[in-house]
Amino acid sequence: MTITNQSIPLIGVLYGGKSGEHDVSVVTAFSVMKANDYSKYAMLPIYITYDGVFKIGQVLNSFHYAASDELRMGETTGPRSHQFDGQIQQERLQSLSDFLLVCKNEGVSVLFPLLHGTYGEDGVIQGLFEMAHIPYVGAGVLASACGMDKVAMKRMFAQAGLPNCTYRSFYAHQWHNEYEHWVTEIEVVLGYPCFVKPANLGSSVGIGKARNRDELLAVVENALRFDQRIIVEEYIDGREIEVSVLGNEYPEASLPGEIVSSNDFYDYNAKYVDGKSTMHIPALISEEQIEQIRALAVQAYRAVDASGLSRVDFFLVKETGDWLVNEINTMPGFTPFSMYPLMWQATGKPYAELLDDLIRLAIERFESRHAISYSFNKEEKAQV
């Protein structure tokens, strides 16, 4: 593929990926490509299959659904094999090489990894971008990894003095070898109901609510389908309030929004399937509470060393009025109807301007990081 006379920046949009959130990622990416101002940016669709194979499309100077979706032709609804497969591995390596070569030869200005979940939001692909020396939208390796790992995230929040709910976590081998210990620990410390989550997944994939021991055993086994580490959290009778954060060294917080779930809790079905959950933007809380949560959101953002964008989710405890930070999402849903851009729209920043800011922040972060000296020559050593 060759691009001639490409006078505007070329943005590589990555979507799909080896994750339980694959389909959510595709929807997000198509929304971004459709909403893009093509007088400012050309876009290069880069689809990652369930098997981790990169498929690179043609440059878009206007949005064509078919041109973006053709990369998925013949794709199944999951990986071809969960076992090591030499042919698939060869495809992965060759496609990765092709991807890096295209980025170099076609002058990709910025990569926009609209990837949710494992291998996309957890620092893995961010490390690839760093090694390839390509600017990219969003958090770096550390923040992405900590934002994806709910246990590491909560530890960093606690270190920063942010209020958290009570939780317990364990690995699959611990559960299988000592499940009676963990059941007792959960029942004594957390009680019922409680929530069981894969430690490294988003979009509420694999989350379950346990009201008794039988349900606990069932939802833990289900969660272990998606991850090797599980986190179990106490039930909080609270309102779910979210804040969008934008920026690098000087992050800003949007007005908050509130989710009122159509289900017993805000699970995958409530988020993406039934369409019955409602949003209040701005959230129906006092001015004092709005200022409190915006300040806490920036504190949480800095606690994990985030950059670019994140959405920070909170519980407002109904009985006490206290705030508890739930989690940070370093690559939140980004369709025009997702909470992240809607909260910024309510704050006075429309979708197109938000895209401009994210691309600018990606370049600023890249230039700042690569102004650092990584060498140590003989003359410098002699002066030490």
Look at residue 270 and tell me whether its pLDDT is greater than 50.
no
Q: Cβ distance 282 to 290 under 8 Å?
A: yes
Q: Tell me the sheet residues that pair with 232.
A: 168, 196
Please check the confidence at residue 266 and state whether its pLDDT lies above 70.
no
Out of 274-283, 284-293, 357-366, pick the least confident. Answer: 274-283
Taking the CA atoms of residue 258, residue 259, residue 265 and residue 269 in that order, the dihedral angle to the nearest 10 degrees is -160
For the stretch 224-239, pLDDT in tens is 998 899 999 999 999 9
- Superfamily name with CATH number, domain 236-369: ATP-grasp fold, B domain (3.30.470.20)
The yes-or-no verdict on residue 241 having pLDDT over 60 is yes
Q: Specify the pLDDT at position 18.
A: 87
What is the predicted pLDDT for the residue at 73?
73
- At residue 376, the pLDDT reads 63
The pLDDT-based confidence of 273 (bands split at 50, 70, 90) is very low
Q: Is 90 exceeded by the pLDDT of residue 261?
A: no
Contacts of 46 (CB under 8 A, 6+ apart): 12, 13, 14, 15, 54, 55, 56, 57, 99
Read off the pLDDT of residues 130-146 as tens digits, 9 standing for 90 and up. Answer: 999 999 999 999 999 99
pLDDT exceeds 50 at position 5? no
What pLDDT, on the 0 to 100 scale, is given for residue 82?
57
Whether residue 381 is predicted with pLDDT greater than 60 in this model: the reply is: no
Helices and strands (DSSP H and E) totals, the chain? 13, 14
CATH fold of 167-234, please?
A: Dna Ligase; domain 1 (3.30.1490)
pLDDT category at 382 given cuts 50, 70, 90 is low
Cα–Cα distances (Å) from 54 to 59, 292, 315, 377, in that order, read: 15, 43, 38, 38
The pLDDT tens digits of the residues spanning 305-351 come to 999 999 999 999 999 999 999 999 999 998 888 999 999 999 999 99
Q: Which CATH architecture has domain 10-136?
A: 3-Layer(aba) Sandwich (3.40)
Q: What is the DSSP string of 285-352?
A: S-HHHHHHHHHHHHHHHHHTT--EEEEEEEEEETTT--EEEEEEESS---STTSHHHHHHHHHT--HH
**Single pTM value for the model:** 0.88
| Boundaries of every domain in the chain | 10-136, 167-234, 236-369
Q: Examine the pLDDT at 3 and tell me if it is beyond 60.
A: no
